[in-house]
């Protein structure tokens, strides 16, 4: 009898062990499957997109704020770099670095224009409807060759206003050239130029200073003499520009929208500094 009981107990233990091993394997496979569904958004762009070093806080690029909009299935890799144009980014090998990691189903977000406009700098300058489009084409073709999805983003506006308080264009023909290329190549385009200009006009000349890197002397230790920067964003402004990018994702009905954890629907413009997270 004792031998039978011992044999029975052994068989039960073996069965339980088999079940636990099966569950472990299943959970492991599920974890691998989850990792396998991760989508990476690679950002190629200039300083308005790039992460700013701590020494320049509270300056920030909108790319720093994008990751927080998505669930765990999406990762944002901000490869943007200050001072780069569509041309110099490629010629410095920065696109190639992205391509070494880029895989099927990933996204390549592309925003250039600010530095392409610098006609006195041959290392960066591109002409809107010729060389600018030609360099952008390289991003598109390279992403597609990897099975990834390119998304063009027209350059975010600078802070420029007319005497009567109207927001002004600051990028000439570059946004139109990008949109024309996107239409020809059937590439999604987020018109961040128009979106940002509209928001700046809503805010007006004074309130937009809070979105940009405008600081009084002594207001921040990184800028003891103060600063008046109409190109780069304060952290709170970068957050709102990221919101406009997400708004564009929703409007284009990109599959990425399924991974958003909140709606980018516009909220009332906050007028009190205390309402805005620095």
Tell me how far apart the alpha carbons of residues 187 and 177 are, in angstroms, rounded to a whole number: 13
Is there a catalytic annotation at residue 73? no
The residue annotated as part of the active site, out of 171, 232, 234, 240, is 232
The residue annotated as part of the active site, out of 92, 101, 216, 219, is 216
Is there a catalytic annotation at residue 216? yes
Block residue for tokens 């530095």: 115
Is there a catalytic annotation at residue 127? no
The residue annotated as part of the active site, out of 47, 85, 88, 142, is 47
- Active-site residues: which are they? 47, 216, 232
């Amino acid at each position: 009898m004792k031998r039978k009981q011992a044999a029975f107990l052994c068989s039960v233990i073996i069965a339980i062990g088999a079940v636990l091993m099966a569950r472990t394997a299943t959970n492991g496979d599920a974890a691998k499957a989850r990792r396998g569904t991760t989508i990476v958004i690679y950002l190629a762009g200039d300083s308005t997109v790039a992460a700013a070093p701590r020494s320049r806080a509270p300056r920030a690029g909108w790319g720093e704020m994008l990751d927080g909009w998505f669930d765990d299935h999406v990762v944002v890799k901000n490869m943007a770099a200050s001072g780069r144009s569509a041309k110099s980014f490629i010629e410095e090998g920065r696109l190639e670095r992205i391509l070494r990691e880029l895989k099927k189903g990933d996204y390549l977000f592309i925003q250039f224009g600010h530095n392409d406009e610098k006609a006195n700098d041959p290392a960066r300058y591109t002409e809107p409807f010729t060389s600018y489009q030609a360099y952008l084409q390289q991003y598109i073709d390279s992403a597609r060759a990897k099975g990834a999805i390119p998304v063009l983003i027209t350059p975010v506006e600078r802070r420029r206003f007319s005497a009567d308080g109207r927001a002004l264009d600051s990028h000439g023909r570059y946004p139109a050239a990008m949109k024309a290329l996107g239409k020809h190549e059937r590439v999604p385009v987020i018109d961040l130029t128009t979106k940002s200009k509209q928001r700046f006009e809503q805010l007006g000349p004074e309130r937009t200073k809070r979105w940009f890197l405008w600081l009084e002397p002594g207001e921040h230790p990184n800028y003891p003499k103060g600063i008046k920067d109409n190109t780069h964003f304060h952290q709170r402004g970068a957050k709102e520009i990221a919101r406009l990018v997400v708004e564009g994702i929703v409007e284009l009905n990109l599959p990425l929208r399924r991974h958003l954890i909140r709606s980018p629907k516009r909220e009332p413009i906050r007028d009190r500094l205390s309402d805005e997270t620095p």
